[in-house]
């Protein structure tokens, strides 16, 4: 299950997020979205967890929690219609 994590502090790293989500299960990937020009974080990321139950537990537990001083939002990522 692919999750989107929004409202991240610009100092939060992929490693920080992966460690946070691994508390709930296996994380297949964690990708912080960066500005192509500056390389700085855009304040959101995607995490993919192989087990839907673990992903739902992570989403429920981590949504609206404070990470590096920012209250993050965690939701199921939805594919955009083309």
- Whether residue 81 has pLDDT greater than 70: no
79 in a domain, yes or no?
Answer: no
5 bridge partner residues = 45, 74
7 in a domain, yes or no?
Answer: yes
User: CATH no. for residue 43?
Assistant: 3.30.70.330
48 in a domain, yes or no?
Answer: yes
- Whether residue 79 has pLDDT greater than 90: no
- Whether residue 54 has pLDDT greater than 70: yes
32 in a domain, yes or no?
Answer: yes
Angle between the N-to-C axes of helices 14-22 and 52-62, in degrees from 0 to 180, rounded to the nearest 10: 110
29 in a domain, yes or no?
Answer: yes
Per-residue pLDDT, 68: 94
Model confidence band, residue 48 (pLDDT cutoffs 50, 70, 90): very high
Per the structure, the complete domain to which residue 61 belongs is given by 2-72
- Whether residue 67 has pLDDT greater than 70: yes
Number of domains in the chain: 1
68 in a domain, yes or no?
Answer: yes
């Amino acid at each position: 299950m692919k999750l989107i994590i929004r409202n991240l502090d610009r100092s939060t790293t992929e490693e920080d997020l992966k460690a946070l989500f691994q508390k709930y299960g296996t994380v297949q990937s964690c990708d912080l979205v960066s500005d192509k020009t500056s390389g700085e974080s855009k304040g959101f990321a995607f995490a993919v967890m192989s087990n839907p139950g673990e992903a739902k537990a992570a989403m429920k537990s981590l949504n609206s929690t404070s990470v590096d001083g920012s209250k993050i939002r965690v939701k199921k990522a939805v594919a955009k219609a083309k």
